[in-house]
Amino acid sequence: MSTATTTARAVTTSTIATGKSKDRNLASLIFLGVLWFSLFFGVVVLLALIIDTAIEGSGRFDHYLFTDYEKSIAHEQAQKFSELRGIPVEDLSNHFTGFRGGILGSLWLMITTALLAIPLGIAAATYLEEFADSSTWYNRMIEVNLQNLAAVPSIIYGMLAAAIMGLMGFQFKGIVIGGAIALALLILPVVIITTREALRAVPQDIRQGSLALGATVWQTTRRQTLPSAIPGIATGTILGLSRAIGEAAPLIMVGLAAVQWDPTGFTSKVEALPMQIFRMASSPQEAVQEAASAGIIVLLAMILGMNAIAIIIRNKFQRSW
Amino acid sequence: MSTQPATATSSTEGEPSALSLSIDEEAKHSVIGEVPAESVMETFHLNVFYGDFHAVHDVNLTFGKNEITALIGPSGCGKSTVLRCLNRMNDLVPGARVEGEINYHGQNIYGPKVDPIAVRQHIGMVFQKPNPFPKSIYDNIAYGPRVIGMKVDNMDDLVEEALRGAALWDEVKDKLKQSAYGLSGGQQQRLCIARTIATKPDVILMDEPCSALDPIATAKIEDLMLQMRKDFTIIIVTHNMQQAARVSDRTAFFTAKPDETTGNRTGLLVEFDRTKQLFSNPADKRTEDYISGRFG
């Protein structure tokens, strides 16, 4: 072993085996600390809110929450509970008030919104992505305005929907179709944008392969591009709908109001869960406020459920090209 | 790219007039050797533009029936552009414009009454990267005949025939219902060839079909091409000169000429001849430089 090798080894040992890491110096640690704090702040505040709400509403996680209408209770039940718990009959309704109207209303609104927004959104996105000549001024204008539409306040869509309902000749606008028009208009830009992204993710190779066989653009779109984009479209659409389910402002604008019955069709009067929560949370009665907290948890569960479905679809059908 | 000016300088030493020639004059000086007796396609003063950019200048070529014609040349010389014009795939590029004529059995495929979709049914194409559809092997083959409305007595027989034609049948006959994405790269490319054969085209264009494949898969595709020659006319773009020498009957050599003011490189045809002639005894200095590996 030569002296040179020995010296080199000594030098190496002294420079790389220093016993500490440069990734752990003060600046790095401070930076890491700031990142941790930001994450902590976001997550903890959200968690605190959810836990606080869940505790407040904990007394009301019973089946009446789902089966009863707002401030209503069947007469014979009222008698029974009045005797059992020693609460005056006239005050009882507050203790058993439920969200049946809101939950069923929101479900009806979601389904109708999906029926309106999904076909329109996919068709519009398919036109823009597969057929439109993006060099023409009108197509460019549409593209720019789509981005802007996604940022329009939701209450504006409520006014628009009310106007559409008026033009269609509906006297009373607070019905399933009215609310669904408002929500569909609200999520349409989101559906279009996510569908376009899903279509864009389908490699150009697939389209070219199909066209080179002598297929038309329409055949290529219908048989290759759209089927390949379905997972992305489904994910985007569900996320759009889960935004719509939490909206109250456009629905109030259209004229949805409290109901004491189940919706039976597209022209039934309905109300939505977020509206009912808003109304009940501002009530002076503690029992009603407690129910509102429980209602918030129900709404959160519905939204999280929809998002979970979106994530499952995305993971299950994820394709690497 | 950097070798281009160097070549230009070296050629000035030999023939002083070469550099001063305008692109129009140079295109007229394309060396056209022996042309095929029975032609399927011809290009006639083919010029291609992408917007203002002149991509290909005045190409005159003749593609012989049941022959393999190779288009070779350095990157950016327009050989792929020419190939994509032959079945009007260039129509799909925004801003692309074609001047001149491309005759297919005597009919100009850029004529006013020609339907590009019908052209593509006669002139199939295989791409650089294997691009099977995200479907089963069977559906990959059956897709073409279905979309073009081909009269098929028995689809199973047609699928088998196409897969045999692409020397893939024995490897996939037990997994026709499985996804095409489970196949290896070479198998996927042969599936793409089978998919093209299934629609019974006349001409098959291949755009660097082996550039994404390993040598063994490449050899299989080359054998396949030599077999397919008896039924189809094949036009292949390749970067691999050995491949051109191995499989093709005729070779067209393209080069790129930079514009003196803009620096945009316009492709032009330098030499077109029998492959043996072009490789053993090239008429143009640039062809010789390229095939001997001195530039490109």
pLDDT at site B15 = 42
How far apart CA B42 and CA B27 sit, in angstroms, is 17
d(CA B142, CA B173): 15
Per the CB < 8 A criterion, the answer to whether B189 and B209 are in contact is yes
What residues of chain B lie within 8 A of the CB of A214, using their CB? Answer: 117-118, 120-121, 144, 147-148, 199
Q: Which residue has the tokens 């009446």?
A: A64
pLDDT score, position B16: 40
Q: How many Cβ atoms from other residues are within 10 Å of residue A91's Cβ? A: 11
pLDDT at A320: 60
Kindly state whether residues A34 and A179 are assigned to the same domain: no
Which residues have a Cβ under 8 Å from the Cβ of A252 and sit 6 or more positions away? A158, A275
pLDDT score recorded for residue A76: 60
Q: Please state, for a pLDDT cut of 90, what percent of chain A lies above it.
A: 51
Tell whether A9 is covered by a domain: yes
> CA torsion, points A200, A204, A210, A211, in degrees to nearest 10?
100
Q: pLDDT tens digits for A21-66?
A: 778 888 899 999 999 999 999 999 999 999 999 998 888 888 878 8
Q: Which of A206, A214, A219 sits opposite B133 (nearest CB)?
A: A206
Q: In this model, does residue B113 exceed pLDDT 70? A: yes
- Based on the fold, state whether residues A29 and A156 are members of the same structural domain: no
The DSSP code for B36 is P
E strand or H helix that includes residue A165: helix A154-167
Give the number of C-alpha atoms closer than 13 A to the C-alpha of residue A158, restricted to the C-beta side: 15
- Do A34 and A106 share a structural domain? no
Residues A29 and A154 reside in one and the same domain: no
A305 reaches B (C-beta below 8 A): no
Transcribe A211-240 into DSSP letters.
HHTT--HHHHIIIIIHHHHHHHHHHHHHHH
Count of CA atoms in the C-beta half-sphere (13 A) of A151: 5
For residue A268, is it within any domain? Answer: yes
Whether the CB-CB separation of A158 and A248 falls below 8 Å is answered with no
Cβ A104 vs Cβ A69: under 8 Å: no
What confidence category does residue B199 fall into, taking pLDDT thresholds of 50, 70 and 90?
A: very high
B195–A209 C-beta distance less than 8 A: yes
Does the model's pTM come out above 0.90?
no
User: Does A38 lie in the same domain as A165?
Assistant: no
A205-218 burial: b if 16+ Cβ within 10 Å, else e: bbbbbbbbbbbeee
Angle at which helix B185-198 crosses helix B137-147, to 10 degrees, equals 30
DSSP string computed for B234-249: EEEE-S-HHHHHHH-S
Integer Cα distance of B200 and B217 in angstroms: 24
CB within 8 Å: B133 and A210: yes
**Residue at A130 is within a domain:** yes
Q: Cβ atoms within 10 A of the Cβ of B18, count? A: 15
Residue B205 contacts residue B125 (beta carbons within 8 Å): yes
Pairing outcome for strands B250-258 and B68-72: parallel
Residue span of the structural domain in which A39 resides: 2-45
Domain co-membership, A138 together with A206:
yes
How close B36 comes to chain A (CA, Å)? 26
Identify residue A270 by its one-letter amino acid code: V
Are B117 and A213 an interchain contact pair (Cβ–Cβ within 8 Å)?
A: no
Q: Are residues A143 and A17 in the same domain?
A: no
Cβ atoms of A295 and A137 closer than 8 Å = no
Nearest C-alpha of chain A: how many angstroms from B97?
A: 15
Kindly report, residue by residue over B237-286, the tens digit of the pLDDT. 998 889 999 999 999 999 988 877 777 888 889 999 999 999 998 888 88
Provide the pLDDT for residue A93: 65
Domain tally, chain A: 2
The nearest CA of chain A is from the CA of B207 a distance in Å of 12
Phi then psi dihedrals of residue A278, to 5 deg: -60, -45
For the cut 50, the answer to whether the pLDDT of residue B2 exceeds it is no
Q: Is the domain of A148 the same as that of A266?
A: yes
CA B157 to chain A, closest CA, distance in angstroms equals: 19
B265-274/B107-108 β-pairing:
unpaired
A240/A308 same-domain check: yes
- Taking Cα atoms as reference points, which of A264, A272, A291 lies closest to residue A71? A291
pLDDT above 60 for B11: no
**CB-based contacts of A162: which residues, under 8 Å, 6+ apart?**
A173, A178, A182, A253, A254, A255
DSSP B37: S
Q: Under a CB-based contact definition with an 8 Å cutoff, are residues A177 and A112 in contact?
A: yes
In Å, how far from its chain's centre is CA A109?
14
B195 and A213 within 8 Å at the Cβ level: the answer is yes
**In this structure, is residue A66 part of a structural domain?**
no
User: Does some domain include residue A90?
Assistant: no
Mean pLDDT value across residues B144-148: 94
Which pLDDT band, with edges at 50, 70 and 90, does B8 fall under? very low
Residue B41 β-bridge partners = B63, B104
Same domain, A151 and A293: yes
pLDDT value, residue B23: 66
Q: Is residue A262 a part of any domain in this protein?
A: yes
Residue A278 domain-assigned (yes or no): yes
Q: Using a CB–CB cutoff of 8 Å, tell me whether A219 touches chain B.
A: yes
Report pLDDT for A72.
Answer: 54
The reply to whether A77 falls in a domain is no
pLDDT at residue A257, rounded to an integer: 83
Token pair listed for A196: 């376009």
Length of chain A counted residue by residue: 321
pLDDT per residue as tens digits for the range B27-44: 666 778 777 878 899 999
Residue B206, H or E segment:
strand B203-207
Q: Are residue A132 and residue A25 in the same domain, yes or no?
A: no
Interface of B with A (CB under 8 A): 87, 89, 92, 94-95, 117-118, 120-121, 124-125, 127, 129, 131-134, 143-144, 147-148, 192, 195-196, 199
Residues A12 and A127 in one domain: no
pLDDT, mean of each 10-residue run, chain A (321 residues): 68 73 85 94 93 89 80 62 70 74 92 95 94 86 88 92 91 89 94 94 93 94 93 90 92 86 86 90 83 91 92 79 57
Q: Output the CA–CA distances (angstroms, integers) from residue B227 to B36, B243, B247, in the order listed.
A: 20, 15, 10
